[in-house]
Structure 1
């Protein structure tokens, strides 16, 4: 199976069946270059300002190129202003509206994934966001051409029909994160191949992840946004405030139900 961009009129049906939708060339080359340059400048100048604390040793290449978490909350930085503007870009919100209805922005992330970096084991995004009663929607924007060699995403079409489950322990040799969710029986991962500017949208229960970047010189940079339906009544507190389509802050209730690992599970930043 290969992911292909369906006609606009088929997007909702395609997403309902597979829980994943690839839209090619949503952003043009000049836009992608501006995104890449802005984030590269920031990581070169100060990689700790937005970097996630993943507990990595100093000799791990990801300690020098950490994933940036919630840059849209730092509008005083160029990366923050850019992320906040793109989170509410009409092209992303239009696709989100087609798939889940009117949506709020919940999260922004930027991954650098340089050569030699470990991947991220299969997981489900709504394990972290805990959006209710529906689920979150990821918009994964390729900032570099990516494939299996440099650690592009693999997704499991159809896995969005399963519940969010408590993860097992991942193989630390291949994944920099600890959780692992195995694909449902009878469902196989599909390796994505994306060009810079393509966007992969996927359901919060869709199982997805990536292998290490085994290339010698190719980064696999990506800008990711998560959205939740405007009908959501709660979300994990780390994602509040949400961002309305007009860029305003929006508050809803903090997730109160126990997570998939039990009532004592507090969740974690993704």
Structure 2
């Protein structure tokens, strides 16, 4: 199976069937160039202000290029201002609304994934967000051309019909995050090949992950957003306040449990 971009009229049906929707060229080249430049400037100038994954050993490349969590909460920084604007961009929200109805922004993330970086074991996002009674929706935007060699995302179509499950331990040599959810019986992972500006929209129960970056020189940078339906009554406290399309902040009840999307090993196992 390969993932292709369906006509706009087919997007909701494809998402309902597969739990994942591909939209090519959501952003153009000038936009991905600007995003790449802003986040690289930020990580080189001060990676701690937005960075997660504290405690990694100095010889781990992700200590130099940690994930940035919730950059949209720092609109005083150029990278944060870009994340804040794109979280409410009509091109993104139009697809989100088609798939889950009116929604609030819950999270922004930026992954650098330089050469030699570990991948991320298969997981389900709503294990962390705990959106209820519905689920979250991820928007994963490629900022570099990516494939299996430099660690492009792999998704498991149809896995969204299964419940969110408790992860088992991942392989610390392969994954920088701790949890592993195996693809459900009868489903198969699909390895994506994407161009900068292409996007994947996927359900909070869809199993997904990525292999290590084994390329010699290619980063695999990505900008990621999570949304929850406006009908959500609770979400993990890590995602509050939510962001309405007009930029105002919204608070709902805190769900029990959850946490930052993708718990890292930090210094524990690698």
TM range (shorter): over 0.9
Alignment of 1:24-173 (within 5 A): 24-173=24-173
Larger deviation, residues 206-215 vs 72-81: 72-81
Larger deviation, residues 206-215 vs 48-57: 48-57
Q: Distance in 2 between matches of 1:53 and 1:212?
A: 17
Deviation at 1:36, TM superposition (A): 0.6
Moved over 6 A (4+): none
Q: Distance in 2 between matches of 1:13 and 1:54?
A: 41
CA distances 1:90-132 after superposition (whole Å, capped 9, x unpaired): 0000000000000100000000000000000000000000000
Report what 1:185 is aligned to.
185
What secondary structure does 1:21 align onto? strand
CA distances 1:169-223 after superposition (whole Å, capped 9, x unpaired): 0001100000000000111100011100001000000000001000000000000
Deviation at 1:47, TM superposition (A): 1.1
How many residues align? The count is 261
Q: Distance in 1 between matches of 2:28 and 2:237?
A: 34
TM-score by length of 1: 0.96
Report what 2:10 is aligned to.
10
What secondary structure does 1:269 align onto? coil
Report what 1:267 is aligned to.
258
Q: Distance in 1 between matches of 2:57 and 2:187?
A: 35
Gap runs ≥5 in structure 2: 262-270
Q: Distance in 2 between matches of 1:76 and 1:5?
A: 35
Report what 1:260 is aligned to.
none
Report what 2:267 is aligned to.
none
Gap runs ≥5 in structure 1: 257-265
Deviation at 1:54, TM superposition (A): 4.6
Deviation at 1:268, TM superposition (A): 2.0
What secondary structure does 2:226 align onto? strand
RMSD: 0.7
Report what 1:212 is aligned to.
212
CA distances 1:41-89 after superposition (whole Å, capped 9, x unpaired): 0011011111103532111000000000000111111111111110000
What secondary structure does 1:201 align onto? strand
Q: Distance in 1 between matches of 2:217 and 2:84?
A: 30
Q: Are 2:238 and 1:238 equivalent residues in the alignment?
A: yes
Q: Distance in 1 between matches of 2:55 and 2:216?
A: 25
TM-score by length of 2: 0.96
Report what 2:196 is aligned to.
196
Q: Distance in 2 between matches of 1:25 and 1:64?
A: 29
Report what 1:261 is aligned to.
none
